[in-house]
Chain A
Amino acid sequence: MRMTMQALLVKALVFASLAPALAEEPTPAAAERSALDTEVQELRRQVVDLNRDLFMLEEDLLFPASTQVAVFVSMDTGTFFQLDSVQIKVDDKEVANYLYTARELEALKRGGVHRVWLGNLKAGEHELVAFFTGQGTHERDYKRGATLTIDKGVGAQYVELKISDKRRKLQPEFVVRVWE
């Protein structure tokens, strides 16, 4: 009995321990799984296409190009400034107040650009004021503002609020730039 049981158990367990490493053997459910996978993939493709169409439709409906203004926030390595939040006022009215998570800050540092506000403005001049709140060097609370006068024309207008490190002065720099 000794060898029989031992051999049986060891054999069973050797393969139980090795099995997860390799591709699984085909199972009777493989055909069903394949059909389901195909359907899920097809649905996912169609849902992505639909979302793309709806994303564009929503923008055309709510923010037509003739009045559209988008404000983006970008930053480089963020050595001299740890961003907490950005507040945006247009013509003295607050339109956005965004608090950043650690994950979003990482995304910004890696080159991501956050569209913090998408809105509508009539043609003509508007004053945009952005306030950046966070911590400067030595963990000091830091609040800075930047102002820009936008001359809203016929087409959509994009504004970039860029936070960059000014290495020579060891302090952050806040640049507002209008993109054509």
Chain B
Amino acid sequence: MPAAVLMTVLLAAAAPGDGAAAGGLPAVKVQDLHYGDVLFHFYQQEYFDALVRLAGYRDQGRLAAHARDAELLRGGLWLSLGQHREAREIFERLLADPATPPPVRAQAWFYLGKVLYAAGQFEESGRALRSATAGLPAALDPERRLLLAQGLMYHGRFDEAVAELDGWSGAPEWTAYAQFNLGVALVRAGREERGLQLLEAVGTLVTENAELIQLRDKANVAIGYAQLQAGRPAAARVALDRVQLAGSQANKALLGAGWADAAEGGYRTALVPWLELHGRAVQDGAVQESYLAVPYAYAELGAIGQAVEYYEQAIASYDAERLRIDESIAAIRAGRLLQAALATRDDGRQGWFAQLADVPDSPESRYLYHLMAGHEFQEGLKSYRSLEAMAANLSRWSDDLGAFGDMVETRQRALATRLPSAESRLATVDIGAINSQRDALRARYEAALAERDVTAFATGEERGWLDLLDGVDAELSSRAGDAALDDAREKARLARGVVMWRLDQAWKVRTWQAGRSMRELDAAVYDARTRQAASSRARQGAPERNAELGRRVAAVAPRVASLATRVEAAKAAQERYLAAIAVGELEAQRRRLDEYSVQARYAIATIYDRASAQGQGP
């Protein structure tokens, strides 16, 4: 499947919003910042990080607004990591929930169909994919149809598969892959005409896309050899001529082109592509076969001397190649293959072909490209890389956990030393008494307001004057009959009147100021109460919380250690498995070279027999 298309499909797993983002992909309107954070990693194809964050945020209850979209994305992320069981459980759960809205349901059916397809359950996959219709984003429909067609193809229901693809008006990337697979299957099933039609559509594709160009080459090689087998060399040559000379299919195309010419008696023209192959890397199967084809053409042209010379060259080349294969097998058995394989940038076939020129000609790396072309080796290497990533991840956490443990211990010590002094300081503050004082003050304030008691808001100086006047009045009262003091009485009355007048004048301002002060006091007392409660909670909870964190750190450490051990064991097993595949492949190649060598020797012997029968030398 083309990587670019896969990305488009995975991106569409997120809930689409109403805007259109760059690249024609749907933009997502985020209602939870943490869901957006997951998408930030998802859109960068950091699927592992995205999945971890998604699971973490979900458990922290931070994805409420995107609950179902998040589940759909979680299933898609498990699927992208190759975890089919986990993905399937999520999609089935979403489908079983009657509250799941139709667009999410359609996508869940689609992804469930993909999981079932990957498991080889084509019947069930087909049913799921057919249920994924109403509300399915348009970007997912091409893949849905491709999977349906291929599922039918694997069941041998070719006509239905063709019907599924007929009338397709979507992007050519999808149809090209489906047409190629279906075309090959039809040719193999003996339905050559229909199969070749489909392959022809791919083989004549006009595209700039590198992956599609490679697919087009494969289709043309497949057409070429199918036509050769059917005895139509001219048609074969047309298809083989369309293959690019620098691509991964070029060697096969050159060999086939030679056979197409030879089949029509054009041995001289056949020599052109075959001799071109002669100059190429001998580890390629088509090049090895050209070592037999060239002398065969010379023999047919009557150039017996050259034929013998080339057969002898072929035998020498096969012998030398067998020695190199033995060296490579020894290097692989010594565990040097993976170092070479892991040093490469990627494990995609196209990436590998592009890197072929850079691969050093050492025993461990000489056959890497050919091994990488095999699906089994590629998948095995992918698993090995995945295990390596897990090992690195666990190693990082192992280091971090050490720091976490130190942190918990340091906090524990800090709490033990600082908490008692903090508590003794806080114990000196009686928030209850402060509260009562505030209540008493408020009662006085409200009573003064109710009674319009202007003296309640007197300043200290005014209070002194009033006290002085009270003393004067008391003295004058004790000498009530003394007329000589009448003047003093009048002065005291006037003085009190002045003070009371001033207080009355200030009433409005002072009650407003007092009201504001009361409100500030309320806020300050509330703040003090809240802080004391928070501080109390913090103090009471701190040792327990820290201890709980310590328990979590302690509990998770053995999990990290145990997983790291298992990952190392799995890496070793995977390495042995990859080496076994590589050795098996190279041994098969060596057997093939043995057979070619026997054929070359047999051909030389035949030439000598004929020559001696005719009484001539070669």
Q: A interface vs B, CB < 8 Å? A: 1-2, 5-6, 9-14, 16-18, 20-24, 27, 29, 32-33, 36-37, 39-41, 43-61, 64, 66, 70, 72, 74, 76-77, 103-104, 106-115, 123, 154, 158, 160, 179
Contact = CB atoms under 8 A, between A and B. Distances in A.
Nearest to B22: A109
B27 interface: yes
Nearest to A53: B556
B43 A52 contact: no
Given A21-B180, A29-B580, A111-B39, A1 B293 contact: no
A57 B218 contact: no
Contacts of B39: 107, 110-113
B488 interface: no
B599 A33 contact: no
Contacts of A24: 375-376
A158 B292 CA distance: 73
Contacts of A57: 404, 549, 552-553, 556
Contact of A17 (B17, B225, B387): B225
Interface in B388-414: 390, 393-394, 397, 400-401, 404, 407-408
27 contacts: A6-B259, A9-B293, A13-B255, A14-B226, A14-B229, A18-B187, A18-B222, A21-B180, A24-B375, A32-B577, A33-B379, A33-B380, A39-B570, A41-B85, A43-B563, A47-B394, A48-B52, A48-B81, A54-B556, A57-B549, A107-B39, A107-B43, A109-B21, A109-B22, A110-B22, A114-B37, A154-B534
Given A5-B292, A55-B53, A113 B228 contact: no
A1 B606 contact: yes
B48 A29 contact: no
B357 interface: no
A54 to B, nearest CB: 6
Contacts of B397: 50-51, 54
A134 B577 CA distance: 51
Main secondary structure of the interface of A (DSSP, over half): helix
Contact of A20 (B53, B375, B383): B375
Nearest to A60: B549
Main secondary structure of the interface of B (DSSP, over half): helix
A33 B581 CA distance: 10
A86 B408 CA distance: 33
A179 B386 CA distance: 38
Interface of B: 11, 14, 17, 19, 21-23, 25-30, 33, 35-37, 39-44, 48, 51-53, 55-56, 59-60, 81-86, 154, 180-181, 184-185, 187-188, 218, 221-222, 224-226, 228-229, 249, 252, 255-256, 259, 262-263, 285-286, 289, 292-293, 296, 300, 373, 375-376, 379-380, 383, 386-387, 390, 393-394, 397, 400-401, 404, 407-408, 534, 538, 545, 549, 552-553, 556, 559-560, 563, 566-567, 570, 573-574, 577, 580-581, 584, 599, 603, 606
B229 A27 contact: no
Contact of B52 (A43, A51, A108): A51
Given A16-B252, A21-B222, A47-B393, A111 B14 contact: yes
Closest 8 CB pairs of A and B: A113-B36, A111-B28, A112-B40, A107-B43, A14-B225, A52-B55, A21-B184, A55-B56
A103 B52 contact: no
A16 B253 CA distance: 12
A111 B225 contact: no
Contact of A43 (B11, B22, B387, B584): B387
A43 B286 contact: no
A31 B22 CA distance: 45
B3 to A, nearest CB: 15
A66 B256 CA distance: 73
A72 B37 contact: yes
Given A41-B85, A48-B51, 17 more contacts: A5-B292, A9-B255, A18-B225, A20-B218, A20-B373, A23-B154, A29-B376, A37-B383, A40-B386, A50-B563, A52-B56, A54-B556, A55-B52, A61-B407, A72-B36, A72-B37, A114-B37
Contacts of B181: 21-22
A104 B30 contact: no
A135 B44 CA distance: 23
A22 B570 CA distance: 29
B59 A56 contact: yes
Given A6-B262, A36-B383, A52-B56, A112 B573 contact: no
Given A13-B225, A14-B228, A41 B289 contact: no
B225 A72 contact: no
Contacts of A58: 400, 404
B21 A56 contact: no
- Give the most central of B226, B228, B293, B401: most A CB within 10 Å: B228
A104 B44 contact: yes
Contacts of A103: 44
